[in-house]
A and B are shown apart, each in its own frame.
Chain A
Amino acid sequence: GAGVSQSPSNKVTEKGKDVELRCDPISGHTALYWYRQSLGQGLEFLIYFQGNSAPDKSGLPSDRFSAERTGGSVSTLTIQRTQQEDSAVYLCASSSGKRGGSLFGGVKETQYFGPGTRLLVL
């Protein structure tokens, strides 16, 4: 697609329910990232995919959080048994996964962000 898309744009859920957030990266981008933006915490890295594998899951805050990526494209972030502290904006980004470009470190080394999913846990 033309840009990174995320769905839903807004999600309200009750504490204890599971939620799934979806990210569609830019076509051809092999690297995909999930970040969380919450008041007082700023932007925090959650997990990163290169292709379908996740070399870095270090940012996942608990085992209630998981993510997968299939076909090297769409990714789903799942939060089980949601808690109120999970309320945040979840941002997805993608990059080409390749180095270089027309200039060193050109457009191939840029992360493009989606509009985010605003999650509210009541």
Chain B
Amino acid sequence: AQSVTQPDIHITVSEGASLELRCNYSYGATPYLFWYVQSPGQGLQLLLKYFSGDTLVQGIKGFEAEFKRSQSSFNLRKPSVHWSDAAEYFCAVGYSGNTPLVFGKGTRLSVIA
């Protein structure tokens, strides 16, 4: 069965500092991988996705993620965090983009001055 683990429930970073959010997945085939962000009271917004090809994926808002098959990981990074990045971040895996996704439990990001 597919599963996604986000080991960090809550992370606090200073504005301007770099960020890395961890995601590990368990999957029997080549996965489709996604990162979504959810601001309080809002739905989920897609940050980036990986299907194949270049393992370093660029997304919106300056985020990037790297797919590492050997480590079953798809970690999200940003070189310099802004206060507006404070939100909940979800990693997800699926057979394709058109089938139900399995989500991790999310990582809440707080940004301090």
Contact = CB atoms under 8 A, between A and B. Distances in A.
Interface of A: 4, 31, 33, 35, 42-45, 48, 50, 56, 59, 91, 93, 95-99, 103-105, 108-116
Contact of B97 (A44, A59, A105): A105
Dominant secondary structure of chain B at its interface with chain A: loop
A104 B43 contact: no
Interface string B76-111: 000000000000001010001111111111100000
A48 B44 CA distance: 17
B104 A31 contact: no
15 contacts: A4-B43, A43-B90, A43-B106, A50-B98, A91-B43, A99-B96, A104-B52, A105-B49, A108-B97, A109-B49, A109-B96, A110-B46, A111-B97, A113-B45, A115-B43
Contact of B52 (A97, A105, A114): A105
Contacts of A56: 99-100
B53 interface: yes
B29 to A, nearest CB: 14
Contact of A98 (B43, B53, B98, B100): B98
B36 interface: yes
Interface of B: 32, 34, 36, 41-46, 49, 51-53, 90, 92, 96-106
Contact of B98 (A31, A45, A91): A31
Contact of A104 (B42, B51, B106): B51
B91 to A, nearest CB: 11
B99 to A, nearest CB: 7
A43 B98 contact: no
Given A95-B97, A113-B44, A45 B49 contact: no
B98 A99 contact: yes
Given A91-B43, A96-B98, A97-B98, A42 B103 contact: yes
A43 B44 CA distance: 11
Contacts of A114: 43
